[in-house]
Structure 1
Amino acid sequence: MTGRPLIGISTYLETGARWGVWELEAALLPAGYPRLVQRSGGLAVMLPPDAPERAAAVVARLDGLVIAGGPDVEPSRYGALPEPRTGPPARTRDTWELALIDAALAAGVPLLGICRGMQLLNVALGGTLVQHLDGHAEVVGVFGGHPVQPVPGTRYAEAVPEETTVPTYHHQAVDRLGAGLVASAYAADGTIEAVELPTAHWVLGVQWHPEMDDDPRLMRSLVHAATAHSPLHAKP
């Protein structure tokens, strides 16, 4: 390996962020995301929301892409009306990240969706979401944990072959799978915890938050795929 692959990570766009004497709109990303990329062997770069027509040009400069967690996907994106416990829309983020996903799928760039990112990947491929799961994200602002069982023979199971307890914070989940996606991990209650495209390049989504975990195997798998994709590492 002659260099580290460049991994882009989508960001929040929030108003009222504060640092020092300033309170301004800010593109934000919890530090766990870039730290996990870095300790897994990649170079991390933030991708704040931009015009969707620029997504292909951005993705063309990346070796891998992470769609980060965040607010609920707007239900109109999957043909549903909002339910009472669905959060307010983040339309700018939805538009940008859907464009990033489409560009990554078209270009063969390895892609990891985390929590909202997995849900958005499912929506991008025509799937739908459960808008609320009782008993999930029970304490506001505190990550929970539960075991996840991999499906043998999947890409996720290659990276993490055994049952593990994962850090989780969500109240929505995949309902109908998008075109081509298969479930590659489940919770004990049957909730789909990971999805992937088995016939494509490295495309995987997980419902939990690996950036809050000490286990780097999933991100290392993405970084390995990104290294293979990178022209810097292409064989002559």
Structure 2
Amino acid sequence: MLKKVYCWVRDEDKELFKRLGQWAEKEFSTVLVDVRAASSKGSFPLPFPPEYDGLLLTGGGDISREYLEKYAQQPVHNPALIQSCDRLRDEWEFSMLEQALKNGKPILGICRGIQVLNTFLGGSLLLDIPGHNDPEQHDQNVQELDFENQPSFCFSKVNSSHHQALDRIATDLRIEARSKKDGIVEQVRLKDYPFCVGVQYHPERDLHYYKSLFHAFFLSL
């Protein structure tokens, strides 16, 4: 029987996650279920826990102001810094994350995903940062990392494409890697949990280089 990993994939990333899904199905008998493609009439219901095996939180627009204020108690003094938010996505991902954590499901958060994880657990965000969204960093693994706390994965250089980042780290998260140039958090894991890793970089853009990360996630299902 095929295992199922639920996710929300924005239009511009469909081909990247299609390739990831093809590899996952071939090597791990796992399918990626894009809730946007699977749902109809604009509604995005949560699957019941027995219906899925893991959660993949992918990249995308910023978390909306209401969710930052609700979960992180983070005042947003300049709402203009929040870009391309999608409240339907926020509602689905935060509810899905809550359910997945309660049921011990493996979780991997990418870019926006690490921010959703930190926010849900009570951490805050830097709403606009310089130097992490330059064109040459979009696909090339050029950003060097410093590691700490016996990291789950050690990619010496990563790609970098984001204008927000973690600020106050949620109590239950452990920092594993930071950008060498400015200390921005690039990798975390949830303490005392079977598999829950968040990365600020984009492993889906280079499946060969980041293979070990996806391999560990799919094996944990």
TM-score w.r.t. the length of structure 2 is: 0.81
Q: Deviation string for 1:140-165 (max 9, x for gaps)?
A: 994454123332424x2xxx3x4422
**Structure 1: 4+ residue segments shifted above 6 A:** none
- 1:148 maps to a residue whose letter is L
Q: Would you say 1:217 and 2:212 are equivalent positions? A: yes
- The residue that corresponds to 1:46 in the other structure is 34
Q: Would you say 1:71 and 2:71 are equivalent positions? A: no
Query: How do 1:151-230 residues align onto structure 2 when only pairs under 5 Å count?
Result: 151-154=148-151, 156=152, 160=153, 162-188=154-180, 189-213=182-206, 214-215=208-209, 216-226=211-221
- 2:63 maps to a residue whose letter is V
- The residue that corresponds to 2:20 in the other structure is 36
- 2:203 maps to a residue whose letter is P
TM-score w.r.t. the length of structure 1 is: 0.76
Q: Distance in 1 between matches of 2:219 and 2:22?
A: 13
SS at structure 1 position matched to 2:159: strand
Q: Deviation string for 1:133-188 (max 9, x for gaps)?
A: 1122123994454123332424x2xxx3x442222210100001123111111110
In structure 1, list runs of 5 or more residues that go unmatched.
13-26, 227-236
- The residue that corresponds to 1:21 in the other structure is none
Q: Distance in 2 between matches of 1:100 and 1:28?
A: 22
- The residue that corresponds to 1:150 in the other structure is 147
- 1:183 maps to a residue whose letter is I
Say whether the 8 Å CA contact 2:137–2:160 is kept in structure 1. Answer: no
Q: Percent identity?
A: 28
In structure 2, list runs of 5 or more residues that go unmatched.
70-74
Query: How do 1:101-140 residues align onto structure 2 when only pairs under 5 Å count?
Result: 101-139=97-135
* RMSD of Structure 2 on Structure 1 (CA): 2.4
The 3 A distance-change label for structure 1 pair 128 and 63 is same
Once structures 1 and 2 are overlaid, which stretch shifts more, 3-12 or 134-143? 134-143
Choose 1 or 2 for highest CA Rg.
Answer: 1
Count, aligned residues: 203
